[in-house]
Amino acid sequence: MYAVIRTGGKQYRVAAGDTVEVEKLDGAVGDSITLSDVLLVAAGDTVKVGAPVVDGASVSAKITGQYRGNKILVFRYRPKKRIRVRKGHRQYLTRLQIESINA
């Protein structure tokens, strides 16, 4: 059984026992959260597709980490103008352990 969830503007395919890294969610390490933006639920041959979400479906997960991801460098320049801009960015992330899918 697996589901497609939406959080942080992105979609993730998850199953029970999976670990996913998503954009920062409120909560402390060890808290349980419920994700109700479930777009698709599949169990064997049966597939429920939502329009836009599946009614009554949810995914319960446990927060196992709150941290910042790797640094990415953003470099921008304009040729022949002596304009060069270098910036760094580290995204805040939340690590989730998927516990169950409730369809």
pLDDT at 75 over 90: yes
pTM of the model: 0.85
Q: What is the CA radius of gyration of the chain?
A: 18
Q: How much is the average pLDDT of 20-47?
A: 95
pLDDT of residue 1: 93
pLDDT at 54 over 90: yes
pLDDT at 85 over 90: yes
Local confidence band at 103 (pLDDT 50, 70, 90 cut-offs): confident
pLDDT of residue 68: 97
Q: What percent of the chain has pLDDT over 70?
A: 100
